[in-house]
Amino acid sequence: MRRLAGLLFCLLLIFLASSCVKSTFEIAENIEKDKVAGSQYEYEGDTVRYTSPEISVEATYLPPERLALYFSLFKDGRYNNPFPVRSYMVFSLAIENLGKKRITYNPKMTFLLGGKSDLIPPKGYTDIYMDFERAKADDLDLRAEAFKAACFDMTVTLEPGQKVQRLIVYPRTDKVKDSGSLLVDNVFVGDETQRAMLLFKQGLLLKEEAR
């Protein structure tokens, strides 16, 4: 009897844990309910853009060849692409203040999603440095310097008319297959917040994995 009760308790915990994980569709529904008047989504090639009267958020997934091109142009080619393609997924993310209030953006609140999965947080400088250290990268310090120069890590403040564009980096995971979303959450516009879900319908899978 005690064993059965223990089994039922474990099943209850599993049920409660799984019920707390919302699907991408459910999160999108909640965002739609809180939609800011005048906001819209636009798709232009590989770029997804959310705009409202106060803010523009634009993201583009950078597959390995485009990421290599990005770093060949960034800072006059000072850095090679520091991110092994089988370990990371990298997006270009641009945020612009279109309104009259100060905007505060915390990159730690921008999550990667794929179907019914956990919210995957971005990599910060310390995470990346430890990853490179564990991988025994020969040029560890230069790779870490490239991350610091090119990527979001700390909270950013934008005054009216200002814009910021940097890379945001996630661990590559089986939870995100050929499509996925970026949940840009809790962007402060003055004292209020806005959120957006940027859907990438295809192209996130490595070509080698798709064969």
pLDDT tens digits, one per residue of 175-190: 787 678 899 999 999 9
Q: Which of 46-50, 111-115, 199-203 has the lowest average pLDDT?
A: 199-203
Mean per-residue pLDDT for 78-84? 95
Q: Return the CATH number at 91.
A: 2.60.40.10
State percent of the chain over pLDDT 90: 62
Per the domain annotation, does 16 fall within a domain? no
**Residue 97 CA from chain centroid, whole number:** 19
Predicted pLDDT of residue 6: 43
Quote the pLDDT of residue 126.
Answer: 96
What residue type is assigned to position 34 of the chain? D
Q: How confident is the model at residue 123 (pLDDT cuts 50, 70, 90)?
A: very high
151 has pLDDT over 80: yes
Q: What is the structure's pLDDT at 21?
A: 47
Q: What pLDDT score was predicted for residue 22? A: 55
7 part of a folded domain:
no
Specify burial of residue 49 (Cβ count, 10 A radius: 0-12, 13-18, 19+): middle
Whether residue 40 lies inside any domain: the answer is: yes
Q: pTM to 2 decimals?
A: 0.82
- Residue 15, domain member (yes or no): no
Say whether pLDDT at 81 is over 80.
Answer: yes
Residue range of the domain that includes 76:
22-203
Alpha carbon separation from 50 to 59, 194, 209 (Å, rounded): 9, 11, 30
Percent of the chain with pLDDT over 70: 77
Q: How confident is the model at residue 72 (pLDDT cuts 50, 70, 90)?
A: very high
Q: Are 103 and 54 in contact (CB under 8 A)?
A: yes
Residue 124 phi, psi (nearest 5): -100, 175
Q: Classify residue 169 as exposed, middle or buried by CB count within 10 Å of its CB (0-12, 13-18, 19+).
A: buried
Task: List, for residues 6-26, the tens digit of each pLDDT value.
Answer: 443 343 333 333 434 455 556
Q: Is residue 9 part of a domain?
A: no
Q: Which residues of 180-194 are buried (b: 16+ CB within 10 A; e: fewer)?
A: bbbbbbebbbeeeeb
Give the number of domains in the chain.
1
d(Cα 147, Cα 81) in Å, to the nearest integer?
9
Q: What is the pLDDT of residue 110?
A: 96
pLDDT band of residue 199 (cuts 50, 70, 90) is confident
Q: Which residue has the higher pLDDT, 52 or 20?
A: 52
Is residue 210 in some structural domain?
A: no
